[in-house]
Structure 1
Amino acid sequence: MTYKQGLAPLAIVLIVTLCLAAGTATGYAFREPIQKAITGKSTDEELTEKLNQAETEKSKFELEGIATSVDATNSILTVKVKSSTDSIKELRLSEAPISVASSATIQSGDQKSLKIADIPIDSQVHVSGAISEGKLTATKILIQKENGLEKQGDNFALGGTVKEVGTDSLVLTVKTANAKVKDQKGKDVTIKVTDVTIIEKGDSVIALSDVKTDDDIQAIGVIVKEEYSATKIEVKIKEQAGTLEEEQENNAGEDSNIQNENQNQGQGAGSSNTGGNSSNSNSNKNE
């Protein structure tokens, strides 16, 4: 084999390698325009869209669960979460408070214009909405079953405003009710309080005598011989209104009392001095 014949195979290998490299580079150069022509988007645009979509999904939620509390006054629905999207997976099997937007759609069957007060306690609901700063706001609520727990016996769950408080019972003006006693909405219901009834306000357990007229409460219990007997009553905490004005009035009253006390002390001291001077004068005359 001559020298030139030995170089020929090497030259062929080198040429093939260069062609492959050039072809690969050319392929990469033409890949983006070809993909955009086919899909209408480049790789970077697709990636940006997917990232934006992921962020959007994080700001939305859907869940299914049981409505455990309905606060119509503050538009808060509390749900025991059974299942949810991954955006709120940490709330599964826990009770989640959900703000209900004023424009939220609340639907049950053919009824599509319901209000939050129409959501029965213990009903199974499907809720969807938005997440903002860690808070859930519902924009759509679907009432799937009015009695999602399918409890045995005549149990009740009522919410409303206290009209009267007695020694062993209270009268509740009902605003919300579970399916079994939904006909009591808008009526006054007497709720029996027994030794086993737990009454809570915030983190404290209180007595029936601590419950006041116009308090908003949630009561659950059993119906025995048409008598509503509560097992638990939760008293809602109202925001203190006019606290600053009350403090100012109290401070003004305290200042007035202190001023009057000082005046009285001054008058007493003056009288004492006058009496002392009179005694000294009489003593001098006698001498």
Structure 2
Amino acid sequence: MSTATTMAQPVQETDDPARNAPRTGELSALLVGREQPPAPSALSASVTFGWRAMLKIKHVPEQLFDVTAFPIMLVVMYTYLFGGALAGSTTEYIQFLLPGILTMSIVMITMYTGISVNTDIEKGVFDRFRTLPIWRPAPMVGYLLGDVVRYLLASVVMLTVGMIIGYRPGGGPVGLLLGVGLLVVFSFSFSWIWTMFGLLLRTEKSVMGVSMMVIFPLTFLSNVFVDPKTMPGWLQAFVNNSPVTHVATAVRELMAGEWPAADIAWTLGWSAFFLVVFGALTMRLYNRK
């Protein structure tokens, strides 16, 4: 009687990928056994999307035209066009005009937030954003954080040009920082209106058209260029209660070294209103779109 000695033979690989692939249990162990990376916080997700907005400007630097060349043109043109007629001299008029024209320029820049949102929707990028495991408002907040940099850049450009042609802020550096800070807070909240329109309207041209219809009456029917006391009574009622008037007055007085408590309160109140109302409407549209 003979006994056969068996020896373990190594498993030979074949050309069949199904036989060479790991078993289902092994794959599960590899995937489940490892520690999952932590979910990004609301702040980090928002900052990441804000950085994305900055990278878009890096690759398309022409977008900075509205925060560099355009503000310079406004300051110089309105100062020398209206200064002599309205105040007797450009030096006197620039003290009144610059904070107002700064407010007007930053408020006008806010509409580009809605245009950027609408452009990403048309390209299909938002479909990807909605599937990411992140804080839901992060893409919207990121757009606004990116635009804050544009607001600050426009402010620096306009204040620099204004000082070159004669503007002298009575409040010094502190007054300038307080005025610009208050204006940025208002503009951040005001931008939520355009994010709503960016989600609601179908093309970026529609967003721009609606934005201009809203912004132009608000900015020109204000105390940006002249004192409302020279206006008819029925127009004064509108101008004196315009949010742009409250912001322009607060910025003007802060930069002059004063403390306009009432206008600061109105500005912060309008900012809270825009943030709560239009922020909620924007997120409702974003979740449903």
Q: TM-score, normalised by structure 2?
A: 0.23
Q: TM-score, normalised by structure 1?
A: 0.23
Instruction: Please state which structure has a larger fraction of its residues in helix.
Output: 2
Instruction: Please state which structure has a larger fraction of its residues in strand.
Output: 1
Compare relative contact order (CA 8 Å, sep 6+) and give the higher one, 1 or 2.
Answer: 2
